[in-house]
């Protein structure tokens, strides 16, 4: 199957496969923790409920998205993919530079179990263990939304070049989800040996690169060598990432530390708020955190760059890569600060 794919199709398949594999590893870890420490029946009820919600969302939104004009799809999807990809990339760079702990599924698994064992068992309706149901439902829904986002964005936006793109992206997701799920439940433990941090770095680079390419095209820019420009974009993003990682490693060696930045952000409502406010606020917070992430300035920079690209016209293809590079460099170097000086020396 893979041998018969073109270069662009192969890149699409690999990108979707790796991204979906990473999300599935995290979902399987949560489900295993909920089932092992609480109640398997309630856990599977939560998984099935989340899958039903995802199917409804895809059925409702999929046909509507496909009806949008191609340039609108490229602009919106490219912009969202770029913001989404830069979230992954920033975290991956901080991990590679030593300023953020590596993602440890074994540790997360144990933390989930410890937290689950402290909660009293409460039943609602046909669910005998509401905590197990809620934990698995939220975990599968959140990770599933990211899988759906990746499949739909890659599949729909490439449909103009390849009518089978959505089907190819769907198969990549199905294979990734199937392999990780079967492996996880077969060994009945989190997949801690999966090189998840490396995979996230690769996926972050690919999502960011595709986002630059499609976003700029949607804003009206024309790449000098059309699809071949994507190879140069990927190389450019890799070079920027490697450069930032090396700088962070030097800072880490000099005992720099992560600076806690007081960036205003949308926060989840407190439990003391009324149920309506808490529910609506929690819903907005979920989507804000899902799309924007921990630094709204990244999203703002991308929106401004897309608007500027559209204003400057077809020859402004160079703007998006520069804005992405500048945003990554500025936000990541700002996040590290020199540790307080040692006055005893």
Copy the structure tokens of residue 112: 């989930």
Copy the structure tokens of residue 91: 């975290």
Give the length of the chain: 345
Domain span at 197: 2-256+295-337
In a domain, 279, yes or no: no
DSSP conformation class of 256: -
Return the residue matching tokens 């392999």.
179
Three-state SS string across 130-156, please? HHHHHHHHHHHHHHHHHHHHHHHHHHH
Return the residue matching tokens 């804005």.
323
pLDDT at 151: 86
Give one DSSP letter per residue of 232-243, joined into a string: HHHHHHHHHHHH
pLDDT in tens, 157-192: 776 667 778 888 889 999 999 999 998 888 766 666
**How far is residue 65's CA from residue 211's CA, in Å, rounded to a whole number?**
17
In a domain, 261, yes or no: no
**How far is residue 89's CA from residue 98's CA, in Å, rounded to a whole number?**
14
In a domain, 343, yes or no: no
In a domain, 265, yes or no: no
In a domain, 320, yes or no: yes
Helix (H) or strand (E) holding 274: none
In a domain, 285, yes or no: no
In a domain, 273, yes or no: no
In a domain, 289, yes or no: no
Structural domains counted in the chain: 1
Question: E strands along the chain, which residues?
Answer: 257-258, 336-337
pLDDT in tens, 8-44: 678 788 888 988 998 898 899 899 988 888 889 999 9
Which residues of the chain have a pLDDT value below 50? Answer: 339-345
- 46 to each of 105, 126, 130, 182, how far by Cα in Å? 21, 11, 9, 18
């Amino acid at each position: 199957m893979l041998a018969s794919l073109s270069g662009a199709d192969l890149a699409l398949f690999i990108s979707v496969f790796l991204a979906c594999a990473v999300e599935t590893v995290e979902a399987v870890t949560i489900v295993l923790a909920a089932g092992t420490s609480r109640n398997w029946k309630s856990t599977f009820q939560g998984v099935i409920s989340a899958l039903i919600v995802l199917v409804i969302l895809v059925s409702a939104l999929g046909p509507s998205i496909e009806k949008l004009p191609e340039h609108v799809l490229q602009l919106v999807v490219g912009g969202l993919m770029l913001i989404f990809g830069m979230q992954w990339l920033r975290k991956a760079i901080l991990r590679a530079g030593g300023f953020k702990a590596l993602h440890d599924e074994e540790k997360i698994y144990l933390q989930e179990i410890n937290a689950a064992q402290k909660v009293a068992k409460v039943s609602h309706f046909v669910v005998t263990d509401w905590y197990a149901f809620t934990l698995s439902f939220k975990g599968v829904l959140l990770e599933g939304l990211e899988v759906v986002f990746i499949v739909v964005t890659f599949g729909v936006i490439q449909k103009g070049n390849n009518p089978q793109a959505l089907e190819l992206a769907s198969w990549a997701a199905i294979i990734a989800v199937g392999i990780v799920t079967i492996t996880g439940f077969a060994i009945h433990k989190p997949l801690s040996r999966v090189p998840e941090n490396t995979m996230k770095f690769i996926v972050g680079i690919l999502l960011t690169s595709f986002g630059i390419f499609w976003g700029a095209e949607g804003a009206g820019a024309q790449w000098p060598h059309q699809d071949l420009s994507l190879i140069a974009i990927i190389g450019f993003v890799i070079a920027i990432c490697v450069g930032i990682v090396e700088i962070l490693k030097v800072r880490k060696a000099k005992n720099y530390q992560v600076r806690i930045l007081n960036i205003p952000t949308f926060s989840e409502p407190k439990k003391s708020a009324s149920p309506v406010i808490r529910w609506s606020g929690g819903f907005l917070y979920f989507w804000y955190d899902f799309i924007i992430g921990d630094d709204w300035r990244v999203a703002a920079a991308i929106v401004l760059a897309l608007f500027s690209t559209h204003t400057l016209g077809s020859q402004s293809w160079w703007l998006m890569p520069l804005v992405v590079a500048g945003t990554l460099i500025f936000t990541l170097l700002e996040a590290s600060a020199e540790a307080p000086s040692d006055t005893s020396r």
